[in-house]
Amino acid sequence: MENCEKMFSKYVLTDDKLRKLMKRKDFKKFMELKHSLKDLNFELADVVARAIKKWALSLGATHYTHWFFPLTGKYAEKQVSFLDMGENGEFINKFNGNSLIKGETDASSFPSGGERMTFEARGYTVWDYSSPVFIKEDNDKNKVLYIPTAFCSYTGVALDEKTPLLRATEFLNFQTTKLLNTLGYSDVKYVDCNMGGEQEYFLIDKNLYKKRKDLVVTGRTLLGSGLIKKQEMYNHYFGQINSKISSFMHELDKELWAVGIMAKIQHNEVAPSQHEVVPVYSSVNIATDQNSLMMDIMQQVADRHNLQVLFHEKPFNCLNGSGKHNNWSISTNTGLNLLDFNHVKEDVFMIILTSIISAIDKHYDLLRMSVSSLSNDFRLGGYEAPPSIISVFVGDDMLNIMENYVTTNKISKRNKSILDMKTKSVAKLYKDNCDRNRTSPFAYTGNKFEFRMAGSSQSMALCNAVLATIIADEIKNVNAVLEKSTNIEKDLRTIICDNIKNHKKIIFNGNSYDKSWQEEAKKRGLIDYRNCVDACSSLKTEKAIKLFTENGVMSETEINIRYNTYLKTYCEGIITEAKTLLNMIEKQVIPSLNNYLIYILNLLDKQKINRLENKNNVEISANINNCINSLYEKLNELNVLLESIEKIENIKEKSEFARDKILDIMFKIREIYDGIENIIPDEFKPFPSYNELVLY
């Protein structure tokens, strides 16, 4: 068996591998283009393409694909064979610069918010050479070369997740590098956003999964409750990993390492059947690509183990939801972490930290929007998920440092404290700069921020694009002041103090789960966007349009596309769930309840013949009968609502109708069935129950 070092990046075309496949001068030219973010000409692209083809064919790849990220929440691909016909009719392997740089697909068949009509079909996939190409192998050992790309319409409008992220990180790079150069760091040539995404997920038996229409179609259970053992004992979190799950995890690690994903940590999460995998930090664009790839590989490996991965944010009604914890920092090409006050000058650390706090306070609505979805609505605010109110945790020590800075203009650093367990057999250790706050949506953890609101099924692209944009915009404002300054040190400290005084209201170091925080947040003027429809409204504000358009991250057309697409996805998601629920009730639940009712009535008839009375069975039969009648009544109401929603054309009104009317009746239907599920014997249950699905 290969050791870890040889296994890592086996199927990734790293710079070291590419160097060996190209002439020195061509490789150097390509690297200069990559780091300077300049355009790639077709002549050099041909040279790079030949090297890529040689590498891919040597590893057994038969096809290549432009790998892109439309606004579907999933990646897309069109596989093309290397095999082609030569000029003399012979078979050849063909792949050139044009094949590498440009692909074409039907832009009207992907979500475009009404931008692309059916007759306006042409769309392009364009190579993103900042993210490495790699080979992906399926379960039958077929290998395909994957080329990361941006996706746009014929008119150049971005229709994907990746493009705004690339624009936003380039904007942050430019503004932060400019600031650092002004403040004496002349050797800094560029800065990079770094991200490490912790991925939570559930694992269940695949055969049982296939018997649940709701899980197969929607990703969550629309009916069901009654777990005998939930998570009250907290004995699953970091608990012993059973052999079947361990086997899955270790095979997953090897598959991820082969495609360059540095999976580092794996463990059981709080809820039974819930787990987490944690990769090491990398550049945010690459990390975002890798997270999407990781989710696909997880499902692929699970298939081999007869398991099903559930990425829905709330697959089980009574258990923790799943998220992605977006660990985020900024570093320079010289190796400085700008969020670590041991790495940079005091004022540099403070301007970066307080600019981030200021940016969150000004644009928390957009950050909340960036993690909005139907599925994440079910998760946020319950069972250890962050609340839907955005706040920033910095810890009491850092808050004191900030408050003291306002009066002293200095950081009152304290010596690292030692943790002593008062026993000689346990080593002493230095404590971290601050505690962790699991309840905070956006928490400073000593040298990075952890944004905990992203949902487990979501792409990391949008939230990181918003984060980079709002912070870069804030730093742009700092640069504008310093450009005109005659006393940079004094003016910089004034900005830092103003940031602390004016935006301190977004800082909350307490328990964000506590209901009192909701009242406190109101007093501070912080709006609680409780659902996707309300959160998405922030995209249409004058402030948001100005932010994205003036900074070149998204045009107004691209903003409208996303607004319409997000609401349509939300609305169609509810309609799909409602239709799935109708099908389950009509085809599975009611027939099963009728069978059980017949069984009970037959039993009662036999008891009457034998002059026996069983009041319990009489009560059960009455409850079952009432349940069936109530379900029919609510199904009729739901059918009427589904007919009504099809007549609504305005997407906002349609989404609000789905949220307020259809979801409400769905909750009532669930309540009816869940209230009686526990009295139904296993042999009469219409589908596997929670107690069967959840693996302890």
Place of tokens 């050797």: 187
Name the β-bridge partners of 125.
Answer: 103, 151
**Residue 207 contacts residue 511 (beta carbons within 8 Å):** no
Q: Is the pLDDT of residue 432 over 90?
A: no
Lowest mean pLDDT among 16-20, 511-515, 612-616, 635-639: 612-616
pLDDT at 593 (0 to 100): 96
Helix, strand or coil for residue 341? Answer: coil
Work out the average pLDDT over 444-455. Answer: 93
Q: Write the pLDDT tens digit of every residue in 337-372.
A: 999 988 899 999 999 999 999 999 999 999 999 999
pLDDT at 359 (0 to 100): 98
Work out the average pLDDT over 229-248. Answer: 80
Mean pLDDT estimate for the chain: 91
> How many CB atoms neighbour CB 502 within 10 A?
13
Structural domains in the chain plus CATH codes: 4-160 (3.10.20.70), 167-198+278-285+319-553 (no CATH), 569-693 (1.20.120.1560)
Spatial distance between the Cα atoms of 655 and 659, rounded to a whole number of angstroms: 6
Helix, strand or coil for residue 454? Answer: coil
Percent of the chain with pLDDT over 90: 74
pLDDT category of residue 233 using cuts at 50, 70 and 90: low
Name the β-bridge partners of 204.
Answer: 308
Q: Write the pLDDT tens digit of every residue in 125-179.
A: 999 999 999 999 999 999 999 999 999 998 899 999 999 999 999 999 999 999 9
Q: Write the pLDDT tens digit of every residue in 654-676.
A: 999 999 999 999 999 999 999 99
Task: Give the angle 533-539-541 at the CA atoms, nearest 5°.
Answer: 110
Element spanning 479, H or E: helix 461-483
Q: Is the pLDDT of residue 119 over 60?
A: no
Q: Is the pLDDT of residue 604 over 90?
A: no
b vs e for 616-638, b when ≥16 Cβ sit within 10 Å of the residue's Cβ?
A: ebeebbeebeebbebbeebbeeb
Spatial distance between the Cα atoms of 331 and 169, rounded to a whole number of angstroms: 12
**Residue 281 contacts residue 273 (beta carbons within 8 Å):** no
Question: Where are the strands (E) in 381-448, listed by range?
Answer: 392-393, 418-419, 429-430, 442-444
Task: Provide the 8-state DSSP code for 323.
Answer: B
pTM tops 0.95, yes or no: no
Spatial distance between the Cα atoms of 266 and 278, rounded to a whole number of angstroms: 6
Element spanning 202, H or E: strand 191-205
pLDDT at 107 (0 to 100): 73
pLDDT at 543 (0 to 100): 97
pLDDT at 569 (0 to 100): 96
Lowest mean pLDDT among 172-186, 528-542, 599-613: 599-613
Q: Which amino acid is at 331?
A: S
Q: Is the pLDDT of residue 596 over 70?
A: yes
Q: What is the DSSP string of 101-152?
A: HEEEEEGGGS--TTSS-TT--EEEEEE-TTS--EEEE-TT--EEEEEEEEEE
Structure tokens at 615: 């009041």
pLDDT category of residue 479 using cuts at 50, 70 and 90: very high
Contacts of 606 (CB under 8 A, 6+ apart): none
Q: Write the pLDDT tens digit of every residue in 274-291.
A: 999 999 989 999 999 999
pLDDT at 318 (0 to 100): 85
Q: Is the pLDDT of residue 22 over 90?
A: yes
Work out the average pLDDT over 20-46. Answer: 87
Q: What is the DSSP string of 171-189?
A: HHHHHHHHHHHHTT-TT--
Q: Write the pLDDT tens digit of every residue in 493-517.
A: 999 999 999 999 999 999 888 889 9
Residue scoring higher pLDDT (382 or 445): 445
Work out the average pLDDT over 61-89. Answer: 89
CA atoms within a 13 Å half-sphere pointing along the CA-CB vector of 488: 14
Q: What is the DSSP string of 617-656?
A: HHHHHHHHHHHHHHHHHHHHHHHHHHHHHTT---HHHHHH
pLDDT at 207 (0 to 100): 96
Question: How far apart, in Å, are the Cα atoms of 635 and each of 405, 428, 580, 583, 643?
Answer: 62, 63, 12, 10, 12
Question: How far apart, in Å, are the Cα atoms of 355 and each of 57, 467, 474, 484?
Answer: 48, 12, 6, 19
Contacts of 589 (CB under 8 A, 6+ apart): 223, 631, 673, 686
pLDDT at 6 (0 to 100): 77
